[in-house]
Chains A and B, each alone.
Chain A
Amino acid sequence: MRSLDKALISLVILGFLTVQAIAGSGKTIGPFERAPYQWPFLDYPMYSLPRFEGDEVGRPLLVGIEPDSTEVEIEPQDLGLDIFPYIRGPLRAVRYGNREAAELFRDLYEARQGVRVIGFEIEERPIVITRAGYRPGPPKRVASMTFEPWYNYRTNP
């Protein structure tokens, strides 16, 4: 009985170590297409990309366009979201042109704020890393999406 116990526990030990070692190297196991799907066995690549002098720290902000062309800055709390769902939700949807997902966040915003929006834009307000410290970079619009086919946000008043 004791030998059987030890054999079973040995399998558990080997299983845990193998899965963690494979996941930790950034590889995936079996049908799981990317590392988070093996949770809680993960790799830890946070903050791993190297950065250099002159690199810009992106500060994306969601901007809503109202029917009268007024622009309104939409912060995470305006949608009832924390920062990461905000980045992975509406910002990603607009940036990658996922209209279906973006419309869900438009509806969410309209329901929470009682304001109609006919389009979204993403504005980057970067910070540039320098040897001596950092400085603000020029803001730029990096993506846009309109929900009204007739509306052109660049030409409409």
Chain B
Amino acid sequence: MRRLVRAWRDYWFRDASLLNLAVCRVVIVATQLKVLASMSYDTEAALPAAMYDPLPVLHLMLAPVGWHYRPSLAAVEAIHNLTLGAGVLALVGLFTSVGLVVFAAGNVFLQAYQYSFGNFHHPEAPIIIGLMILALSPAGGALSIDDLWKRIRSNVRRLEFEPARLLERTSPYAGWPLRLIQWTLGLVYLSAAYAKLRDGGLDWTNGYTLRYYLVQDGLIWGSDLALWFGTQHFLAQILSWLTLLVEGTFFLAVLFPPLAWLYLPAAAGLHLGIELTLRAPFLRWVALYSAFIPWNRAVRKVSIWWERHAKEATDVFFDGHCALCLRSVTALDYLDWGGRLRFRNLEAEGTILTAARPDVDLADLRAEMHVVGPDGEMRRGFFAFRHLAGRLPLLGPLALLLRLPGAGRIGPRIYAVIARHRRRRLHCNGAACAVHDGTQA
């Protein structure tokens, strides 16, 4: 028994990457936000009361206002908007835990409401289960404003820059949500294969079955592609076997993770085919495949490739006694997944630059940001910031904005204003304040 408990703990609670969980959060929440944004409730609101048959989960959620209560259209739309807002928070990672709980609960409510009028579908269920799992997990532990803010406060409080090291951070609570999502998908696919074998045995692969459903849904949705496939008997037989094989053995990708690289494209192809022919929106399940992908390893591989094939890192010189500077470099470091920036504290490493550039002294370095790019060129202030934005793919849109005509003239002025007033913005103490005041430079 003890061995079983240990095996259980080793499986579900071994250290796992917080980045992997965070990427999964971003992908699943973004996918469901897109679905939610397209939902409307006018049809349900117009249906007669006799058709209202709430699902048990909706009964439970509405119990405080009445077991058979039917919410008005205005109330449902208000919950829809609240859920959208919570989803945006969960996506960017601001108040992540609360955002995820509200987003998951809101989606359960809204989907259950739509399914309480005799209209019932399957595509949403696994994603909503995934959201429920994420809501119970530390999915905001990385790639979130919450986490960035925590790091900024910590670095500023200690007046010491400590890199985020997103790729290396792990938690014993980061693995179970990913594995549970994987197993949920495995069980869902197994259920689909089981139903086919239970209802039809291997007759399901006779070609007529798949063609029948292609013609049926092709007529309903007006899909010419489905109607064409509906005439291809041999192809239908092959696709039937493949469908049964992928659905029935998908769980092997959970047990043996390297097989995921075989099963994920196969299952995604299956859903793409279903979406194109039967118009059934199961392709969104691909968002759940993000739970299978070791994002941290993928990013690390890209970083290594970048270091080998692209350019050297950009040196960013910052004042370690300046809270504003610490905030900036903490944020930049947080976005630098590829290791393209190398942060150098002036107090310890400023002489590297002043020795190489006699025209620059420490006072210059403290006055505004300095970076030295892979091309050896030194940039200051606004131009340094623009260079950094260009080096970080996650700041790509900002980099484009900073390259707009006129930005090179307006940008330095705005930067100068901020730099001039940063003394007032500092939460610094003692000598560090004096340094930024310019009095001791």
Q: Which residues does A use to contact B, with CB under 8 Å?
A: 5-6, 9-10, 12-13, 16-17, 20-21, 23-26, 32, 36-53, 55, 57-59, 80-85, 88-89, 100-101, 104, 108, 127, 129, 131-134
**In the complex, A48 Cα to B184 Cα: how many Å?**
20
B230 partner, pick from A20, A45, A48, A134, beta carbons under 8 A: A134
Chain B contacts with A in 170-221, Cβ cutoff 8 A = 172-173, 176, 180, 183-184, 187-192, 194-196, 198-201, 203-204, 206, 208-213, 215-216, 219-220
Give the chain A neighbours of B187 by CB distance below 8 A.
17, 20-21, 24
The answer to whether A55 and B195 have CB atoms under 8 Å apart is no
The answer to whether A5 and B56 have CB atoms under 8 Å apart is no
The answer to whether B192 and A46 have CB atoms under 8 Å apart is yes
**In the complex, A85 Cα to B57 Cα: how many Å?**
21
The answer to whether B201 and A46 have CB atoms under 8 Å apart is no
**In the complex, A23 Cα to B208 Cα: how many Å?**
28
Give the chain A neighbours of B112 by CB distance below 8 A.
39
> What are the nearest 10 A-B pairs in CB distance?
A50-B200, A24-B191, A51-B212, A45-B195, A50-B203, A44-B192, A40-B125, A48-B195, A133-B231, A88-B118
B129 partner, pick from A40, A46, A53, beta carbons under 8 A: A40
The answer to whether B215 and A127 have CB atoms under 8 Å apart is yes
The answer to whether B173 and A85 have CB atoms under 8 Å apart is no
Among the 9-residue stretches B41-49, B300-308, B327-335, B391-399, the one with 4 or more Cβ atoms under 8 Å from chain A is: B41-49
**Hey, what's the 0/1 contact readout for B21-64 against A, CB within 8 Å counting as 1?**
00000000000000000000001001110110001110000000
The answer to whether A37 and B55 have CB atoms under 8 Å apart is yes
The answer to whether B13 and A6 have CB atoms under 8 Å apart is yes
The answer to whether B211 and A129 have CB atoms under 8 Å apart is yes
- B124 contacts the other chain (Cβ, under 8 Å)? yes
The answer to whether B125 and A39 have CB atoms under 8 Å apart is yes
The answer to whether A48 and B198 have CB atoms under 8 Å apart is yes
Looking at the assembled complex, report how far the CB atom of B369 sits from the nearest CB atom of chain A, in whole angstroms. 42
The answer to whether A134 and B203 have CB atoms under 8 Å apart is no
- B233 contacts the other chain (Cβ, under 8 Å)? yes
**In the complex, A23 Cα to B188 Cα: how many Å?**
9
The answer to whether A17 and B190 have CB atoms under 8 Å apart is no
- B68 contacts the other chain (Cβ, under 8 Å)? no
**In the complex, A71 Cα to B212 Cα: how many Å?**
30
**In the complex, A74 Cα to B146 Cα: how many Å?**
54
The answer to whether A45 and B199 have CB atoms under 8 Å apart is yes
A16 partner, pick from B184, B191, B209, beta carbons under 8 A: B184
Q: A48-B198, A134-B211 are in contact. List 20 more A-B contacts (CB 8 A).
A: A5-B173, A20-B129, A20-B187, A23-B191, A24-B190, A24-B194, A36-B55, A40-B111, A41-B129, A45-B192, A46-B195, A51-B206, A51-B208, A51-B212, A52-B206, A80-B46, A82-B119, A85-B117, A89-B118, A134-B230
Looking at the assembled complex, report how far the CB atom of A101 sits from the nearest CB atom of chain B, in whole angstroms. 6
- B415 contacts the other chain (Cβ, under 8 Å)? no
The answer to whether A42 and B213 have CB atoms under 8 Å apart is no
Given the known interface contacts A37-B56, A40-B125, A57-B216, the answer about A85 and B191 at a Cβ–Cβ threshold of 8 Å is no
**In the complex, A29 Cα to B106 Cα: how many Å?**
24
The answer to whether B208 and A104 have CB atoms under 8 Å apart is no
For B13, B173, B191, B220, which residue has the most chain A Cβ atoms within 10 angstroms? Answer: B191
Give the chain B neighbours of A85 by CB distance below 8 A.
43, 47, 117-119
The answer to whether B122 and A10 have CB atoms under 8 Å apart is no
B199 partner, pick from A32, A48, A57, A108, beta carbons under 8 A: A48
The answer to whether B184 and A20 have CB atoms under 8 Å apart is yes
The answer to whether B209 and A24 have CB atoms under 8 Å apart is no
